[in-house]
Amino acid sequence: MKYDYVDERGTVAIEGRNTTLECICIIAECKEETASTYWKYNGSNVNPSQKFKFSKEVLPNGAKMAMNILDVSLTDQGMYFCGINTSKGFAEIPRQLRVISKGELFWTVHVIYND
């Protein structure tokens, strides 16, 4: 079961769960073997680790970059940027992550169903 969702304000994840941020590049250069991808948070590069897992999938018309964030915490909330460097230059796409605490989730569900 997927515990996060995406709306106009970004991806919403529940504290303590895993979530995924994704970007899709739809230009031919994104499929280049030499194209490199990266993720940034608060202006600094995010490095692959036990908490952050990266993947890149080549699509027929481009590429999909994803970052899995394991055991999401409130400090993970904020604006992320996925980036790609190709032979034609680079691009960065913003991805907003909102984190809901377990207590806030209970309160929200409780209020909705008591109306």
Task: Inform me whether the pLDDT recorded for 98 exceeds 50.
Answer: yes
**Predicted model pTM:** 0.80
Task: Inform me whether the pLDDT recorded for 114 exceeds 50.
Answer: no
Q: Which of 26, 42, 60 is nearest to 97 (CA)?
A: 42
Which amino acid makes up residue 96?
Q
Contact between 21 and 66 (Cβ < 8 Å):
yes
User: How many structural domains comprise the chain?
Assistant: 1
108 vs 61, residue with greater confidence: 61
Domain carrying residue 10: 5-114
Mean pLDDT of the chain: 84
**Distance between CA atoms of residues 110 and 9, nearest Å:** 22
Task: Inform me whether the pLDDT recorded for 97 exceeds 60.
Answer: yes
Averaged pLDDT, 98-113: 64
Q: Write the pLDDT tens digit of every residue in 41-66.
A: 988 999 999 999 999 998 888 889 99
Averaged pLDDT, 74-81: 95
Task: Quote the percentage of the chain above a pLDDT of 90.
Answer: 50
List CB contacts of 14: < 8 A, sequence separation 6 or more. Answer: 3, 4, 72, 99, 100, 102, 105
Backbone angles phi, psi at 50, to 5 degrees: -65, -30
Contact between 97 and 80 (Cβ < 8 Å):
yes
* The pLDDT of residue 68: 97
CATH of the domain at 87: 2.60.40.10
* The pLDDT of residue 4: 46
**Distance between CA atoms of residues 88 and 60, nearest Å:** 19
**3-state SS class at 105:** helix
Averaged pLDDT, 7-26: 86
